[in-house]
Amino acid sequence: MPNLQAIVDEIYARLRPRLGEGKVADYIPQLAHVDPKTFGMAVVTVDGAVHTAGDFDVPFSIQSISKVFTLTLALGKHGETTWNRVGREPSGTAFNSIVQLEQEEGKPRNPFINAGAIAVSDLVLAGHTPREAIGEIVRFVRYLADDESIAIDPAVAKSEEATGYRNFALANFMRSFGKLDHPVEHVLGVYFHHCALAMTCTQLARSGLFLAAGGRIPGTGHTVVSRQRARRINALMLTCGHYDGSGDFAYHVGLPGKSGVGGGILAVAPGRASVAVWSPGLNHNGNSLIGSLALEMLANRTGWSVFE
């Protein structure tokens, strides 16, 4: 076992001079206000050790990373019929493209592009009110992280709701194909709120640990999902977790991961650890530039790539 804390410290030291690279998402004011030079990292191993660096305990907007948790919930409610509403293939186009949605009659390519996550929000609703569904998601993430302090940032949720025209377009488009069961406003209410979850790197890494540990939370022994389902969610993260940069992330890092425009990335080293990084500057594919480098360094130094 490598000396993880030393590796994490080295990564932070080497990337420190480059902090500020990339472009901070500015499509909602709340994201644009973040200091572009922040960097946080937390590695939680399956045996419970935690290694951190930088702003690991500063909450940030996890945005699309939340899609991993809503997918897990939807699979728990609907099992494999989930895949009647959303596909499992990489999208091959920009992350919010509407084109493929038309070609495929309102069925999004995968649960991690916006359209797919909206379809998943519809599945999580399952007849409940948006408030109930949002409550369920928050409770689920708190349970995974074993941390009752996790909460949604209402200003972020409200801001996305006020400007999310493209998501309204996607949802109405799917609805026109009969691919949503609930009113567009309800579905997007759930969607905008779970994207507005604010978490620290440590909380996020803890929340993803079950995916590294065969579906169980090592600390409590609770089973979240079956071993097979954990494996499959990891597969989806690897093939689809970074929008149109998923191939690139697999090539350079080699770990299942999910990024968010807030600059966070959750990565899973099966059997080893769950890792969260955060640095707000994004690369041209909309993924954290410094965060991706940090994970590439970690994979190189630990040999954790799933491909070796």
Q: Spot the catalytic one: 24, 43, 64, 97.
A: 64
Tokens of 86: 């959303």
Residue 270 makes contact with a second copy by CB under 8 A: yes
Q: Please tell me the distance from the alpha carbon of residue 172 to that of residue 82, in angstroms, as a whole number.
A: 20
Per the annotation, the verdict on 165 as an active-site residue is no
Q: How many residues does the chain have?
A: 308
Give the chain's end-to-end CA distance (angstroms, integer): 16
Residue 257: its H or E element: strand 257-259
Per the annotation, the verdict on 68 as an active-site residue is no
Select from 120, 33, 256, 6 the least CA-distant residue to 265: 256
Q: Spot the catalytic one: 44, 156, 207, 243.
A: 243
Site for a second copy in 203-222 (CB under 8 A): 214
Per the annotation, the verdict on 27 as an active-site residue is no
Residue 236 makes contact with a second copy by CB under 8 A: yes
- Chain centre to alpha carbon of residue 192: 14
Residue 110 makes contact with a second copy by CB under 8 A: yes
Residue 239 makes contact with a second copy by CB under 8 A: yes
Task: Supply the DSSP string of 53-68, one letter for each residue.
Answer: EESTTS-EE-GGGHHH
Q: Please tell me the distance from the alpha carbon of residue 283 to that of residue 290, in angstroms, as a whole number.
A: 9
Among 26, 102, 105, 148, binds a second copy (CB under 8 A): 102
Per the annotation, the verdict on 243 as an active-site residue is yes
Per the annotation, the verdict on 258 as an active-site residue is no
Residue 86 makes contact with a second copy by CB under 8 A: no
Q: Residue 31 Cβ, how far from a second copy at the closest point, in Å?
A: 17
Residue 223 makes contact with a second copy by CB under 8 A: no
Binding piece for a second copy, criterion CB under 8 A, among 47-55, 149-157, 189-197, 230-238: 230-238
Strands 264-269 and 257-259: antiparallel
Residue 246 makes contact with a second copy by CB under 8 A: yes
> What Cα–Cα distance (Å) separates residue 155 from each residue in 80, 263, 286?
35, 18, 22
Q: Residue 66 Cβ, how far from a second copy at the closest point, in Å?
A: 21
Residue 275: its H or E element: strand 273-278
Q: Residue 293 Cβ, how far from a second copy at the closest point, in Å?
A: 15
Q: Residue 99 Cβ, how far from a second copy at the closest point, in Å?
A: 5
Select from 74, 81, 79 the least CA-distant residue to 126: 74
Among 97, 202, 203, 302, binds a second copy (CB under 8 A): 97
Q: Please tell me the distance from the alpha carbon of residue 28 to that of residue 21, in angstroms, as a whole number.
A: 20
Residues lying near a second copy in the complex (CB under 8 A) are found at: 87-93, 97-100, 102, 109-110, 165-166, 168-173, 175-176, 184, 214, 227, 230-232, 234-236, 238-240, 244-248, 250-252, 254, 256, 270-271, 305-308
